[in-house]
Amino acid sequence: MFKRKIENELIEWKESLKVKKKAFVLKGMRQIGKTFIVKKFAIENYKNVIYINFKVDLNLKKAFAGDLQVREIISSLSILNPKFKFIPNETVIILDEIQECSGARASIKPFMEDGRFDIIATGSLLGIKGYNKNYHGGVAVGFEHSVYMTAMDFEEFLWAKGIDIETLNYLYDCLKNKKRINDAVHTAMLKYFKEYICVGGMPAVVDVFVKTDDYRLVRNEQRDIIESFKDDFAKHLNENEEEVIDQSLSMKINRVFDSIPSQLSKENKKFFYSMLESKGTSKKYDPAIWWLKEYGLVEYCHNLNTLELPLEGNKIDNIFKLYLTDTGLFISMLDENIVSDIMFGNMGIYKGVIYENIVADALIKNKLPLYYFSKDSGLEIDFVERYEGNITLIEVKARNGNAKSARTILNDKIKYPNVNNLIKLCDANISFSENVLTLPYYLAYIIR
């Protein structure tokens, strides 16, 4: 379907098997392309592929219900599906939606100790604590190489649109050397980036857009995906591995999820439980927020109590913002005219919210934790990251403004002696002056 960066990690994993046998465990929310990419990799790199989907092939769970001896598992699978051929040292077994079968997850250790077969496992709900109540030995430490996959980032979106690698290498070179981007390329990239904001990185949505350029169809696909996600909210398996839903938790998850646009559109974007209900509390709603985070649909951005390294050690646990991990889905939750407003620059108060979420989205896809810095005095920095080894302020400007809060911090060496760098993201081209690096929005996907 589309080229994805995760393919490089699969190639590196296969090479690492020469040193130690581990299963490749691919985590991430539904509909981001996990199954497609592991099947593609398996077909291209193995002579023999066995594929099991535990949400579809329910009968095959029986093979993993015994003592989990490799010989017995293989024998059972061969009886249950005679088409399966287990060829030693030439076979990869794909265990798709492995969270649905605790016995399959527990079988990874004996398979790796046996050594004759490679294992690739995927899971959409693996990160959710207690999803599968059927305990079957747990996860064996040291036998899995776990990787988290996200929706497509902006670079992968450009690949899908057919943008040549030379152009992308040119952008990397411009950032590395802090040199101005050719005006024609800059203008084109701003347009592509607006498209990406509206479309997002869900492969099915990108496919619709690439084939049709029809934002109405894009929005329909996005809303269908959101509804399918909502069907998962608070779902888990009982002791018999049967699907059940915690209705109380589901209601709270829906309230949190539906509140995100209004939470972010406030002047103070800190998450307020009182926006969920008048007596909303962290005790009542934190499990719902955590569920969404582990599902992969939202990410915390914590306030910092001070601008010092390590940033994680200085975060304030109970003061945070929530961002959606796919801005296209976020856009689909707003009013019907928002796509036109984005493409023609008429967003008004929404511009800051949308561009903050897309920058958060880019940082998440670059595997960076999110932090911000806010004081009661009104001082506020959109994001704070460790970039090139240094604490770096990141300001997302609706217009090419002066980043007043950031300037205040950079100029106060008594209070903030360890902060010397600012990245300002806006419509402008690349420029660098007095430790302030100005970048166009679209280069946020390179910050890592």
d(C-alpha 120, C-alpha 38), whole Å: 8
Rg of the chain over all Cα atoms, to the nearest angstrom: 23
**Residue range 20-39: average pLDDT?**
97
pLDDT of residue 135: 64
Q: Are 300 and 311 in contact (CB under 8 A)?
A: no
Residue among 290, 440, 448, 268 at smallest CA distance from 353:
268
The string of pLDDT tens digits covering residues 334-386 is 988 999 999 988 876 678 899 999 999 999 999 999 999 999 988 999 999 99
pLDDT of residue 351: 80
The residue among 239 and 34 whose pLDDT is bigger is: 34
Per-residue pLDDT tens over the stretch 129-169: 888 888 666 677 899 999 999 999 999 999 999 999 999 99
Q: How far apart are the C-alpha atoms of 215 and 220, rounded to whole Å?
A: 9
Spatial separation of the C-alpha atoms in residues 285 and 390, rounded to whole Å: 35
CB 424 within 8 A of CB 397: yes
DSSP code at position 414: T
Summarize pLDDT for 180-198 with one digit per residue, the tens.
999 999 999 999 999 999 9
Report how far residue 438's alpha carbon sits from residue 436's, in angstroms, rounded to the nearest whole number. Answer: 6
pLDDT over 80 at 31, yes or no: yes
Q: In terms of residues, how long is the chain?
A: 448
Could you give the C-alpha distances from 283 to 164, 178, 247, 270, in angstroms and in order? Answer: 50, 47, 17, 17
Using the Cα atoms of residue 340, residue 344, residue 350 and residue 353 in order, give the sign of their dihedral.
positive
For residue 140, the model assigns a pLDDT of 72
Task: Determine the pLDDT at residue 141.
Answer: 81
pLDDT in tens, 375-432: 998 899 999 999 999 999 999 986 666 778 999 999 999 999 999 999 999 999 999 9
Taking Cα atoms as reference points, which of 25, 32, 30, 42 lies closest to residue 4?
A: 32
Q: Write down the pLDDT at residue 139.
A: 72
- Please tell me the predicted confidence (pLDDT) of residue 347: 73
* pTM as predicted: 0.94
Largest CA distance in the chain: 73
